Chain A
Amino acid sequence: GAGVSQTPSNKVTEKGKYVELRCDPISGHTALYWYRQSLGQGPEFLIYFQGTGAADDSGLPNDRFFAVRPEGSVSTLKIQRTERGDSAVYLCASSPAGSDEQFFGPGTRLTVL
């Protein structure tokens, strides 16, 4: 079956602009996670959705970052007033209910000029 997909695969933007990154999880997976992977680092947790609600957003770095999952499926990560330090690969993962195994998408590489 289809895996987790993320669009766009690459996004180049200018400092100060607004960006949206999309994640389509595996059908039927109730849990959805966003991570950020900076160059040479391991992924870092940003936010976790269980259904439509953000169950844990403790990893969001500041209030410029926001994520939604209005229908419990597709999720959008939104970044306002982008900064050069936001440049990274943003990873999405989904998981069946009650499972600790996450299935990762290919990521969106964000470059802020």
Chain B
Amino acid sequence: AQSVTQLDSHVSVSEGTPVLLRCNYSSSYSPSLFWYVQHPNKGLQLLLKYTSAATLVKGINGFEAEFKKSETSFHLTKPSAHMSDAAEYFCVVTRTSGTYKYIFGTGTRLKVLA
């Protein structure tokens, strides 16, 4: 069985300060992990994905995430928040083979203050 826990439903940061969105996963299998972003009235967009090649994954728009197997975590970070980063972020786990159905976390709403 697989599951994802996003530890914060809401995060507020000031523009120009670091962003940390936390995600813990549970998986009976070797997982693939993703972060997606959803802007209001827009579709889900892939930010980055981990598929065992490297534990530190760089994504679009300056985001990165580090896979830590010992902590079963895959936290998303960005050194400096921009107003355009305000959105809903979802952590996702899936298997690395077979049926790739996604298991989503409940989401973290990021608010960026001017």
Contact = CB atoms under 8 A, between A and B. Distances in A.
Contact of A48 (B51, B101, B104, B107): B101
Interface of A: 3-4, 31, 33, 35, 40-45, 48, 55-56, 59, 91, 93, 95, 99-107
Interface stretch (B39-47, B53-61, B64-72, B75-83): B39-47
B100 A45 contact: no
B96 A100 contact: yes
Interface residues of B, number: 24
Contact of A33 (B49, B51, B95, B101): B101
A104 B44 contact: yes
A33 B102 contact: yes
Contacts of B101: 33, 45, 48, 56, 59
A99 B99 CA distance: 10
Given A33-B101, A91-B44, A101-B34, 17 more contacts: A33-B102, A40-B106, A42-B107, A43-B102, A45-B103, A48-B99, A48-B101, A55-B99, A56-B101, A91-B43, A93-B44, A100-B49, A102-B100, A103-B46, A104-B36, A104-B43, A106-B41
Given A100-B32, A100-B51, A45 B102 contact: yes
B99 to A, nearest CB: 5
A93 B95 CA distance: 16
A75 B44 CA distance: 19
B107 A41 contact: yes
Nearest to B90: A42
B49 A101 contact: yes
B99 A56 contact: yes
Contacts of B36: 104
A55 B98 CA distance: 10
Nearest to B109: A40
